[in-house]
Chains A and B, each alone.
Chain A
């Protein structure tokens, strides 16, 4: 493992379900990220947290709700998703926001299928 652990690795949910993706990093990093990876947009930034504070929200629909309780944990809460939201969701971390934001360590991703 890379030091960034994501669970679950695979998730199938209906459009009315509520589920959450979890990310944990063991690297002592201060910034954490959610990316969406799909065939149409290979690496699409969703959210950025630095020291638990959200610094970026890349116009993501409200059916995706991030939560960062501390610098080591990041969640992505999912509610009333659409089939087009099916994708690989990648969590990443970096030492810091700003100058340290250009070296990312990624987790293995959570493969989401929305039926």
Chain B
């Protein structure tokens, strides 16, 4: 019930392309869905987050799409750049006291 499944495990995209990472969850009590970005040698850092009252949130080249009925959400990186090469983690949490549950991570490589 607490699991968040993330795919793909790794992704290679050409510079300028669109990177898409998908996550699915089971627990309908989840109401907060962040994405974390981790560069080599660094800890994960919050990138963008969404709550289920909206279906999409955009910040610059990064967009979260959320499908409540399907219990799925995805991260789209438009015009992908080599500097976007990192590991991306989706996560989900619910009400007070409900810890973040992380997906398994996606290693993204953007080729010049």
Contacts and interface: CB of A to CB of B under 8 A. Distances in A.
Given A42-B102, A48-B99, A56-B99, A101 B93 contact: yes
Contact of A43 (B34, B44, B46, B98): B44
A102 B97 contact: no
A66 interface: no
Contacts of B91: 102
A90 B93 contact: no
A58 B49 CA distance: 25
A102 B34 contact: yes
| Size range of the chain B interface in the assembly | 20 to 34
| Size range of the chain A interface in the assembly | 20 to 34
A101 B100 contact: yes
B59 to A, nearest CB: 15
Interface in A86-104: 90, 92, 97-99, 101-104
Which 4 pairs between the two chains have the least Cβ-Cβ distance?
Answer: A106-B43, A98-B96, A102-B93, A42-B105
Given A92-B43, A108-B43, 15 more contacts: A4-B43, A43-B105, A48-B99, A56-B99, A97-B97, A98-B96, A101-B100, A102-B91, A103-B46, A104-B36, A104-B44, A105-B45, A106-B45, A108-B41, A108-B42
Interface of A: 2, 4, 42-43, 45, 48, 56, 90, 92, 97-99, 101-109
